[in-house]
Amino acid sequence: MSEVICRPVESRRDQKEFLQLEKRLYRDDPNWVPPIWDERKKLVGFKAHPFYLDADGQTFLVYRDGVVVGRILAVVNHAHNRTHEEKTGFFGFFECENDPEAAHLLLQTASDWLEERDMTVIRGPVHPSLNYEVGLLVDGFDTPPTFLITYNHDYYESLIQSFGFEKSQDLFSYDASIDMLNDLDPKLLFVIQEATRRFKATTRPIRRSHFNEDVRIFLNIYNESLKQTWGYVPMSEGEVDEQSKGLKQLLIPELTSIAEIDGKPVGAGFGLLDYNPIIKRIGGKIFPFGWIHILLGRKKIKRLRMVSANVLPEYQKWGLGLVTLYPILPVALERGIEVGEFSWVLESNQLSRGTIQRGGATCTKTHRIFDRPLGSGSPDSSATETNA
């Protein structure tokens, strides 16, 4: 019998193998888009990232006959457990050959590591939290992912479910042609006009002269608006600063909108260009010249991801989310954008899902987050050596 073992990532060589596995597993998949590798190193903990100032993580590799066939990250997110008064552990960055024995050993090793730290549930995949890339693709494998949306092999769902994981929450992506959005449902247009009149709301884009200040307004509204959302965890000050730096390079100010009432910011929305075709061409390597390709190529991008339309809790359910997003539409048309993607939208967010569907958008991708109780042992009764 061939030997299958799992070990923690400890050396630079281990880190390289952890990252290189992704390239190898998807080298023949035309829909796969490489990550921005420098950002990936931060999010898995190989380089400094403020997320890990309040979280503990450990990466693992699984080998079959000395060859790496799978990987995983186990995370204890202290901010999540404080916020929700839980003992939930997480897994992310799961990649594996279609090898159930190896996959189960990876998942068991991550589970054991979390259980040793008093966690009672394991949830995932999240990379490394819900504030970043989230979920396992379970429907919509026929097209490439949009920027910052996860992609994986279709057999991963079977590998994870066969270990005893069950669905916790789905996340949906919706496509809408810009032409369709331009011919907006009169009922939605009435909501926008009425909310604007009722609150005397005004909107403006991010100011180039106050870019850092306005990006922080966006992220602070994001933090405040999602407090009642499933799985929500506020970003720390360090994470807000880190996100601000990244967004400064990627946001087009005219594709953003801040809604204000009496001069107070109450809503924030932005569309993010789908940079994935460019990232694929440069192989995920931003330095030293990747940024030049992104900056020069973004005028040709025809797909816009509507990432966020967040409104402070006291102003929610009044249509101000639509008010926030509406000014972005004419700018998108002017730039030649052809498709707007609304992603991702939680299954439990009935209000947003209903509004998007009434607007005529079509669900194109489904991602899933799974849960499994810890302490239940492995569903695979076969004995396997573990050196974790």
Would you state the pLDDT for residue 388? 37
Would you state the pLDDT for residue 59? 98
- Residue 31 belongs to a domain: yes
DSSP 129: S
Look-up of token digits 């839980």: 86
Would you state the pLDDT for residue 377? 67
Same domain? For 168 and 182 the reply is: no
Same domain? For 205 and 263 the reply is: yes
Same domain? For 114 and 148 the reply is: yes
Would you state the pLDDT for residue 378? 66
- Residue 232 belongs to a domain: yes
| SS3 assignment for 305-348 | EEEEEEECHHHCCCCHHHHHHCCHHHHHHHCCCCEEEEEEEECC
Contacts of 101 (CB under 8 A, 6+ apart): 4, 380, 382, 384
Token digits for 110? 């991550």
- Dihedral pair phi/psi, residue 4, rounded to 5°: -120, 120
Look-up of token digits 């991550």: 110
- Phi/psi-derived region of residue 68, left when phi > 0, alpha when psi is between -120 and 50, beta in every other case: beta
Same domain? For 156 and 201 the reply is: no
Q: Give 306's strand partners.
A: 271, 342
Same domain? For 141 and 260 the reply is: no
Same domain? For 297 and 360 the reply is: yes
Q: The domain that contains 23 carries what CATH number? A: 3.40.630.30
DSSP 146: P
DSSP 57: E
Would you state the pLDDT for residue 121? 98
Same domain? For 22 and 141 the reply is: yes
Same domain? For 192 and 156 the reply is: no
Would you state the pLDDT for residue 41? 98
Look-up of token digits 């330095």: 287
Same domain? For 166 and 179 the reply is: no
- Residue 344 belongs to a domain: yes
Would you state the pLDDT for residue 231? 92
- Residue 380 belongs to a domain: no
Listed in order, strand segments (DSSP E) in 214-314 are 256-261, 264-273, 303-311
Same domain? For 64 and 196 the reply is: no
Q: How many domains does the chain have?
A: 2
Same domain? For 136 and 284 the reply is: no
Token digits for 169? 């929450």
Would you state the pLDDT for residue 385? 40
Q: Are 243 and 39 in contact (CB under 8 A)?
A: no
The domain containing residue 9 runs over which residues?
Answer: 4-173+369-373
C-alpha–C-alpha distance, residues 240 and 204, integer Å: 21
Q: Are 309 and 271 in contact (CB under 8 A)?
A: no
Same domain? For 140 and 277 the reply is: no
- Residue 382 belongs to a domain: no
C-alpha–C-alpha distance, residues 165 and 172, integer Å: 20
Would you state the pLDDT for residue 383? 35
Going residue by residue through the chain, which has 388 residues, state the pLDDT in tens, using 9 for 90 and above.
689 999 999 999 999 999 999 999 999 999 999 999 999 999 999 999 999 999 999 999 999 999 999 999 999 999 999 999 999 999 999 999 999 999 999 999 999 999 999 999 999 999 999 999 999 999 999 999 999 999 999 999 999 999 999 999 999 999 988 777 666 677 888 888 999 999 999 999 999 888 888 988 988 898 888 888 899 898 898 998 898 888 888 889 999 999 999 999 999 998 999 999 999 999 999 988 899 999 999 999 999 998 778 899 898 888 898 899 889 988 998 999 999 999 999 999 888 888 888 878 899 999 999 999 998 666 653 433 444 3
